Amino acid sequence: MLGRTTLSAVERKDRRFAIFAATPAGLTIAALFLYPLVYAFVLSLYELNDKRPEATRVVGLANYVRLLGDDAFLASLARTGVFCLFTVFGGVAFAVGMGVLLNQRFRGRAVARVLLLVPWAVPPVVNGIMWKLIFDGTYGVANSILMTLGIVDRPVQWLAVPDLTLGVLIFAEVWKLTPFLALMTIASLQSIPANIYRAASIDGAGSWQRFWRMTLPNLRGTIMFLLIVQSMWSIKVFDSIYVLTGGSGGPAGATTTVNFLAYLTTFSYLDRGYGASMSIAIMVIVILVAAFWVLLLGRRDKETRR
């Protein structure tokens, strides 16, 4: 069959197949992802509040200008910053720690590694329910343990005190998300050739030195990847806030991150146009953060290679 057709005919056939094969997926993504994205951008140029539908009008970029002077938005940004500080830096450091811990040889290593999949597989809503049970102010086991140990003498109202609620949220998110990052760390650790460690320890390098001088530099690419992934997850966190705070982002707005504020603006205050501009701003922030990590760690990578 191939022998008689000319090369260009085969190529043309290949091209036709390539386009045919990519079309269904492309159409689905275009219709339900790209079109809504454009729609959202157009929406962000409108003043459109479902509480006052008669006042709908085009306002251009005014919604974006409004964002810059909106204290609630700026406060939620700061809150997201704090949340990310803990979940991204703390989370990735913790993930690398877990990865290194589970990369050593010991009996039961395979089982311990598989257990890293448990938090990953627990749906975010269930994760929220789980920690709400544990940190319940009246009957939660966290209080029982702390009181038995004599650390506190009265039940702590974990989910009624603003800072503590944010703390519980951070704890819950780290539990859910970092073990998967640890698995990725292990995958990358295994690609570091073992004999460079052997050589180093013959040269008298201690395990601490080997970690800083060899393991970490070899993990640079992976750590960049983890920072990007975790930053995206952290900025987009929603489900556990919803469940832990009963859909309020409280107490007193303490867990209202930008993403949650965009949700409240759109679906509680029904300020659709403004909510759309806020969501687009979040999208831009996510992309900027990812680009920041790539530039920062990507450039250093080149320097070390030189």
Partner 1 sequence: MNDTAGPRRRVDVGRVAHRVAVALLVVYLVVPFLWMVVYSVYPSENLRSSPMSFAPTDLTLAKYGELFGDSGFVRSMTNSVVVGVATTVICMLLGSLAAYSISRFRFRGSQTLLLAMMTVQAIPAIVLAVPLFVLMRDFGLYDSLTGLVLTYAAFILPLVIWMMVSFFDSIPVNLERAARIDGCSHLGVLRRVVIPLSGPGFAATAIFAFITAWSDFFLAKILTGPNAETLPVRTAAFQGLFATDYTAAATAGVITALPVLALALVAQRWIVQGITEGAVKG
Site for partner 1 in 185-244 (CB under 8 A): 187-190, 192, 194, 197-198, 201, 207, 210-211, 215, 221-222, 224-225, 232, 235-236, 238-239, 242-244
Residue 72 engages partner 1 in binding (rule: CB under 8 A) = no
Nearest to 262 by CA among 286, 288, 227, 231: 286
- How many residues touch partner 1 under the rule CB under 8 A: the total is 104
The C-alpha angle 168, 173, 178, rounded to 5 degrees, equals 135
Residue 26 sits in the site that holds partner 1 (CB under 8 A): yes
> Is 9 among the residues that bind partner 1 (CB under 8 A)?
no
- Establish if 7 lies at the interface with partner 1 (CB under 8 A): no
Q: If you write DSSP's letter for every residue of 2-49 in order, what string do you get?
A: TTTS-HHHHHHHHHHHHHHHHHHHHHHHIIIIIHHHHHHHHHTTEE-B
Q: Of these, 67, 119, 169, 177, which contacts partner 1 (CB under 8 A)?
A: 119
How far apart are the C-alpha atoms of 6 and 257, rounded to whole Å? 61
150 binds partner 1 (CB under 8 A): no
If binding is defined by CB under 8 A, does position 80 make contact with partner 1? Answer: no
> Which one among 45, 75, 126, 164 touches partner 1, defined by CB under 8 A?
126
Distances (CA, A) of 72 to 66, 77, 251, 262, 272: 11, 9, 15, 11, 16
Nearer to partner 1, 6 or 138 (CB): 138
Contact between 98 and 179 under an 8 Å Cβ cutoff? The reply is yes
Least gap, CB of 131 to partner 1 (angstroms): 7
Residue from the set 65, 125, 152, 216 that interacts with partner 1 by CB under 8 A: 125
Q: Which is nearer to partner 1, 20 or 71 (CB)?
A: 20
Q: Under rule CB under 8 A, which residues in 259-278 are in contact with partner 1?
A: 259, 262-263, 266-267, 272, 275-276
Q: 45, 136, 156, 254: which one contacts partner 1 (CB under 8 A)?
A: 136
For tokens 């219709």, what's the residue? Answer: 31
Residues 6+ apart with CB under 8 A from 153: 147
Of the candidate spans 58-66, 70-78, 80-88, 139-147, the one that interacts with partner 1 by CB under 8 A turns out to be: 139-147
Q: Is 84 in the site for partner 1 (CB under 8 A)?
A: no
Q: Is 43 in the site for partner 1 (CB under 8 A)?
A: yes
User: How far is 116 from 304, CA to CA, in rounded Å?
Assistant: 32
Q: ∠ at Cα 276 (273, 279), nearest 5°?
A: 155
Draw the binding track, 277-306, toward partner 1 (x: CB under 8 A; -: no contact): --xx-xx--xx--x----------------
Distances (CA, A) of 17 to 20, 23, 30, 306: 5, 10, 20, 44
